[in-house]
Amino acid sequence: MRKALKHGFFSALAWTFLLASRSLPSKGSLKLGEALGHLILRFDVKGRRIAYGNLSSSFPSLTPKEIKGMVARCYRNLGMSIAEFSRLPRLSKEEINGMAEVEGIENLEAALRKGRGVILLTAHLGNWELLGAVLAARGYEVNAIVSRLKVKGLDRLVCRIRRSIGVNPLPREALKSAVESLKRNQILAILADIDTRARGAFVKFFGRRAFTPIGPILISLRTGAPIVPAFIVREGEKHRVFILEPLKLEGDPPSDAQRFTELIESFVRRYPDQWIWMHRRWREV
């Protein structure tokens, strides 16, 4: 009973924020998002503690004050991203496309010309939901492997928004659907920078062992679909998308996972206040 009430409260809160965000112009919505980020920072005691510890271990040269400021900016980015995501269904394709500058689109085009689909490897960096929306607005068929949210009402809302902007969400267990999307020469987006219970391997991330999913590697080896790394970062009120050249796989999943993890780390180091440090990324078992 208590769990149902709690989930109902979070769903109602999400709908209230969504309606409020959509009623405001872009700048007003972002201000509301900043306030939401500050609110989450204040009440997410566990996540705040995890973020502080992760950042302290990853950037030992930073002072406690600098770490605290970076944690605050991480939550600020999260809040702004939620606000932007909530407004996407109200925007035209042209407006969504105008939210980001895209670099390296030729790398995606070249990979798709092979006719085997593309595994778009990305991370929880910047406003990662916007990455799929921008590509869908440009006319690409986008599917995304997603994790189910614990609050069912919130999960339904988020998936509804994703579908409305042209991103087809696929649960992690829907491997057949994922492979079918590649056979149709579509994009399959996978975020491979968090600790999951999926098949994976321990690789080095910021110098420490981190359990990392090898699903993108296994799917690529099975289907022949190239893995194209892509990242989105916030630049003020705008965003920038980087689409890189396809990864050259060695055929050894742990080694290949180490290589793409190093690539992810390079972007997180460049934009440390835009990654989800509140996630428990490092574990030993």
- CA-CA distance, 122 to 264, in Å (whole number)? 8
| Selection from 19, 268, 8, 4 nearest residue 122 by Cα | 268
Percent of the chain with pLDDT over 70: 94
- What is the pLDDT at residue 12? 64
Please answer whether residues 130 and 275 qualify as being in contact, where contact means their C-beta atoms are separated by less than 8 angstroms: no
Instruction: Please report whether residue 283 resides in a domain.
Output: no
Q: Is residue 106 part of a domain?
A: yes
Could you tell me if residue 34 is inside a domain? yes
DSSP letter at 276 equals -
- The pLDDT, as a whole number, for residue 10 is 53
Q: What angle do CA 268, 25, 83 make, to 5 degrees?
A: 35
- For the cut 60, the answer to whether the pLDDT of residue 55 exceeds it is yes
Q: What is the mean pLDDT of residues 208-233?
A: 96
In a domain, 282, yes or no: no
Three-class secondary structure assignment of 30-70: HHHHHHHHHHHHHHCHHHHHHHHHHHHHHCCCCCHHHHHHH
Q: Considering only 28-32, 54-58, 73-77, 105-109, which range has the smallest mean pLDDT?
A: 28-32
Q: Scanning the structure block, which residue is given the tokens 């290589």?
A: 259
User: Is the pLDDT at 204 greater than 90, yes or no?
Assistant: yes
Q: Calculate mean pLDDT across residues 95-106.
A: 97
pLDDT value, residue 13: 64
Q: How many domains does the chain have?
A: 1
In three state form, how does the secondary structure of 155-202 look?
Answer: HHHHHHHHHHCCEEEEECCCHHHHHHHHHCCCEEEEECCCCCCCCEEE
What's the mean pLDDT in 34-56?
A: 96
* 281 domain-assigned: no
Average pLDDT over residues 77-106: 96
- Summarised one tens digit per residue, pLDDT across range 156-184 is 999 999 999 999 999 888 889 999 999 99
Domain that holds residue 265: 2-274
Please tell me the predicted confidence (pLDDT) of residue 76: 97
Is 22 inside a domain boundary? yes
Average pLDDT for the chain: 92
- Mind listing the pLDDT tens digit for each residue in 131-159? 999 999 999 999 999 988 888 888 899 99
Give the percent of the chain with pLDDT over 90: 82
Residue 5: per-residue pLDDT: 47
**Would you say residue 41 lies in a domain?**
yes
The predicted pLDDT at position 232 comes to 98
Query: Is residue 37 one of the residues assigned to a domain?
Result: yes
Other residues' Cβ atoms within 10 Å of the Cβ of residue 150: 11
Which residues are CB-neighbours of 249 under 8 A, at least 6 positions away? 217, 220, 221, 227, 256
Reading the block at residue 132, the tokens are 């799929």
